[in-house]
Amino acid sequence: MEESESVETLTGRLALVEERLASLEAAHAVGAEAAAKTADELDEDEFWALEGLKSRTPDRSAVLLTGAVRLPSEACYEWQETFDADSVLEADWAPAASALAALGQPVRLSLLRQVLSGVEAASELAALEGLGTTGRCTTICGRWWPPAGCAA
């Protein structure tokens, strides 16, 4: 009797393993199918901004930066900037180096995320673990925008 219970237990466990394997294989097939799509098969609306830019600038290369963001503070920011690609490539990029370098450090990126999430005072930032002192937070925030964005 003991042996038959053991076989029944193993049979049940095997059935569960087969079910899980079938589920994983189905999920893998769906993922592989999505990854196999070519650019021509993508949703026509997926590149609506790019297609709009190309239709407005048919004879030149251009760069478009656009966004619409509602922050947790309910503040809304919308922007759109279009640049001629040749002008961007010919421009002096050196003045942007310090701002880009400032954002290249994890603590500074974390500070930026906190400010965008609604933290307004450097003292609030300093209270968060790993972000430093009020003075450090004020100094770093002052590199991105007017210090009023990081009131003490």
Domain ranges of the chain: 2-36, 42-91, 97-152
Rounded CA gap, 52 and 57, in Å?
9
pLDDT at 122 over 50: yes
Output the DSSP codes for 9-25: HHHHHHHHHHHHHHHHH
pLDDT at residue number 89:
93
Res. 133 pLDDT band, cuts 50 70 90: low
- For the chain, give the mean pLDDT: 76
Report, in angstroms and rounded to the nearest whole number, the Rg of the chain calculated over CA atoms. Answer: 27
Q: Cβ(10)–Cβ(3) under 8 Å?
A: no
pTM over 0.75: no
Look at 19 and 132; give whichever has higher pLDDT.
19
Taking residues 23-52, what's their average pLDDT? Answer: 70
> Does 91 score more than 80 pLDDT?
yes
Average pLDDT value for residue range 105-131: 77
Tallying the residues shown for the chain, one arrives at 152
Is the C-alpha dihedral spanning 76, 57, 47, 91 positive or negative?
negative
pLDDT of res. 64: 93
Q: What angle do CA 11, 14, 12 make, to 5 degrees?
A: 40
Q: Cα–Cα distance between 100 and 112 in angstroms, integer?
A: 13
Hey, what are 127's tokens? 């209270």
Q: Which pLDDT score is estimated for 146?
A: 43
Mean pLDDT highest for which of 90-94, 98-102, 133-137?
Answer: 90-94
Confidence class of residue 37 from pLDDT cuts 50, 70 and 90? low
